[in-house]
């Protein structure tokens, strides 16, 4: 049975990795793989009660992640509908390219820790398209935005899907991951940022257009209320979990209800056609449901390998062959540059138990860093990279020549800083 499960999973994984060449959406491949894996597991396992219990256990964990993502994505869509991100981007006024690179990268770094790396990449790349005419310069900025967004998402429990998975699964806690990974993630950004800004020294932007659309029907007050309330809700989720001990998705849903209430009160006197695109019903229609479905499929698929004891056996084999946790996790991070980091982290969670590696242990924290930042090494290795690739039509080989080596330097520099940090604290 295990051999058949491995074959099905590998075929599904290859279909996901080669989504664009074969022109089959990765969500379809993930769902088909999950359905086949659980069907084979159920048919070939004599104890049907065990299978049902395993599926119920998996469903609880998967539902928590999906509800959290749906709530967070909806909040982001509401902020965007109110032009809320202009609150940040409108304050960027410099014409010096090297200074602008620092500002944009740092804004992307901190913004992605509150939102997520995908949304941050879309917002910041769209900003750069408005203020820089030179395509070559815009591509350099897009490359650094990818690195910054992935680095910023790694140290926050809500900044990257993989870190959120580890947080919800109790492999890490919010306070611990933020204190442990902030410096390594910052170094992951600063190392390539220092190198690339040196090449931009002395260059300026010839013209800086106005960033905010003055024809918008959103008032200054409405924009600020929805931006700060939405960001505040997302920031408050870790505190909500700490105080109530409830799963994070409950905090997001509570915040979403509050945002919905405030939005309806703000726009209650407007005509229906004017406020239609501003309410949460419209925002729910705009969230990326294909990505949500992909997460459902891949998490269910990986869970089959966990319950059939394939992943624990793989972990034992890696420990026997390689023997060092830091090297194993570094390799996982490098692999995440080629394949999606969500199934990699899901597989890692199934490979290693909380009994063997308790909450906030070296393995989980280092995994959060490596899986979150390793995807920057190739443009296809992260959602932020794929989004920037589509927005700016970035060529794979151009990114490989110009940005990949910078991302690799940042990745290794941050990893060394984390390992040194752990050793110093342990001394």
Confirm whether 22 is domain-assigned: no
Please report whether residue 387 resides in a domain: yes
Query: Is the per-residue pLDDT at 234 higher than 50?
Result: yes
Q: Which of 123-137, 212-226, 233-247 has the lowest mean pLDDT?
A: 212-226
Question: In sequence order, what are the residues at sequence separation of 6 or more whose Cβ sits closer than 8 angstroms to the Cβ of residue 52?
Answer: none
Where does the pLDDT of residue 427 fall: very low under 50, low under 70, confident under 90, or very high at 90 and above? Answer: low
pLDDT tens string 113-141: 887 787 788 788 877 877 787 888 889 99
Residue 340: the pLDDT is 66
H-type helices in 155-279, by residue range? 161-168, 174-199, 220-244, 248-266, 272-275
pLDDT digits over 365-417, tens only?
A: 999 999 889 989 988 777 788 778 767 878 878 888 899 999 999 999 999 99
Per-residue pLDDT at 275 exceeds 80: no
Boundaries of domain holding 92: 54-426
Tell me how many domains the chain contains. Answer: 1
Specify if 419 maps to a domain.
yes
Supply the DSSP string of 21-69, one letter for each residue.
Answer: HHT--HHHHHHHHHHHHHHHHHHH-S-HHHHHHHHHHHHHHHHHHHHHH
pLDDT band at residue 193 using 50, 70 and 90 as cut-offs: very high
Distance of alpha carbon 262 from alpha carbon 104, whole angstroms? 30
313 part of a folded domain: yes
| Of 427, 405, 416, 415, nearest in space to 143 by CA | 405
Q: Is residue 17 part of a domain?
A: no
pLDDT at 110: 92
Model pLDDT, residue 50: 85
Q: Which residue has the higher pLDDT, 331 or 76?
A: 331
- Considering only residues 155 and 207, tell me which one the structure prediction assigns the higher pLDDT: 155
Determine the average pLDDT of the residues in 201-230.
69
Least confident of 21-30, 79-88, 170-179: 79-88
234: Cβ–Cβ under 8 A, 6 or more apart, which residues? 72, 75, 114, 115, 158, 252, 255
Query: How confident is the model at residue 206, as a pLDDT?
Result: 55
Alpha-carbon dihedral angle through residues 356, 358, 360, 362, given to the nearest 10 degrees: -20
Q: What is the pLDDT of residues 295-348, one digit of tens each?
A: 788 878 878 887 887 877 777 787 788 878 889 899 888 888 876 677 778 888
pLDDT at residue 221 is higher than 80: yes
What Å distances lie between residue 235 and 170, 221, 240, 242, 259, CA to CA? 18, 21, 9, 13, 14
For residues 399 and 379, is the Cβ–Cβ distance under 8 A? Answer: yes
Contacts of 229 (CB under 8 A, 6+ apart): 258, 259, 262
Residue 212 pLDDT: 45
Which tokens hold the place of 27? 């969500």
| Mean predicted lDDT score pLDDT of the chain | 84
Whole-number pLDDT of residue 213: 47
Share of the chain above pLDDT 70, in %: 95
Token pair 């410099």 in the structure block, residue = 94
- H or E, element range at 118: helix 117-131
Residue ranges in 169-219 assigned as alpha helix (H): 174-199
17 pLDDT higher than 90 = no
* Residue 347 maps to a domain: yes
Mean pLDDT of 94-103: 85
Contact 374, 410 (CB under 8 A): no
The whole-number pLDDT of residue 411 equals: 95
Query: SS3 of 212, please?
Result: coil
Whole-number pLDDT of residue 214: 44
Helix axes 362-373, 174-199, angle to 10 degrees: 40
Q: pLDDT > 90: what percent of the chain?
A: 24
């Amino acid at each position: 049975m295990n051999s058949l499960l491995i074959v099905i999973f590998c075929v599904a994984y290859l279909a996901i990795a080669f989504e664009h060449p074969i022109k089959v959406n990765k969500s379809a491949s993930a769902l088909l793989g999950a359905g086949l894996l659980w069907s084979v597991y159920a048919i070939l396992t004599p104890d049907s009660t065990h299978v049902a219990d395993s599926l119920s256990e998996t469903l609880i964990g998967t539902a928590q992640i999906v509800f959290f993502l749906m709530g967070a994505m909806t909040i982001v869509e509401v902020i965007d509908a109110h032009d809320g991100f202009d609150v940040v981007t409108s304050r960027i006024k410099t014409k010096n390219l090297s200074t602008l690179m620092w500002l944009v990268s740092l804004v992307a770094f901190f913004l992605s820790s509150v939102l997520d790396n995908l949304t941050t990449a879309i917002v910041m790349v769209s900003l750069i398209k408005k203020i820089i005419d030179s395509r070559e310069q815009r591509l350099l900025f897009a490359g650094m935005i990818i690195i910054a967004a992935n680095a910023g998402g790694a140290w926050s429990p809500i900044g990257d899907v993989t870190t959120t998975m580890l947080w919800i699964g109790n492999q890490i806690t919010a306070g611990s991951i933020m204190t442990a990974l902030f410096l390594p993630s910052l170094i992951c950004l600063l190392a390539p940022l220092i190198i690339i800004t040196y090449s931009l020294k002395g260059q300026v932007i010839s013209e800086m257009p106005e960033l905010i659309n003055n024809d918008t029907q959103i008032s200054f007050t409405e924009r600020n209320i929805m931006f700060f309330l939405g960001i505040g809700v997302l920031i408050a989720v870790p505190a909500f979990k700490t105080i109530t001990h409830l799963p994070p998705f409950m905090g997001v849903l509570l915040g979403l209800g509050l945002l919905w209430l405030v939005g309806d009160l703000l726009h209650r006197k407007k005509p229906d056609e004017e406020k239609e695109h501003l309410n949460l019903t419209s925002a729910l229609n705009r969230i990326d449901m294909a990505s949500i479905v992909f997460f459902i499929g891949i998490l269910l698929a990986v869970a089959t390998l966990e319950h059939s004891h394939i992943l624990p056996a793989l972990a034992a084999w890696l420990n026997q062959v390689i023997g060092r946790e830091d090297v194993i996790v570094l390799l996982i991070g490098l692999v995440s540059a080629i394949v999606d980091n969500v199934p990699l982290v899901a597989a890692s969670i199934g490979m290693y138990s909380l009994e063997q590696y308790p909450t906030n242990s070296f393995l989980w924290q280092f995994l959060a860093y490596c899986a979150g930042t390793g995807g920057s090494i190739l443009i296809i290795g992260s959602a932020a990279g794929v989004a920037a690739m589509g927005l700016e039509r970035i060529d794979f080989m151009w990114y490989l020549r110009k940005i990949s080596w910078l991302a690799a330097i940042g990745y290794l520099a941050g990893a060394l800083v984390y390992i040194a940090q752990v050793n110093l604290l342990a001394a």
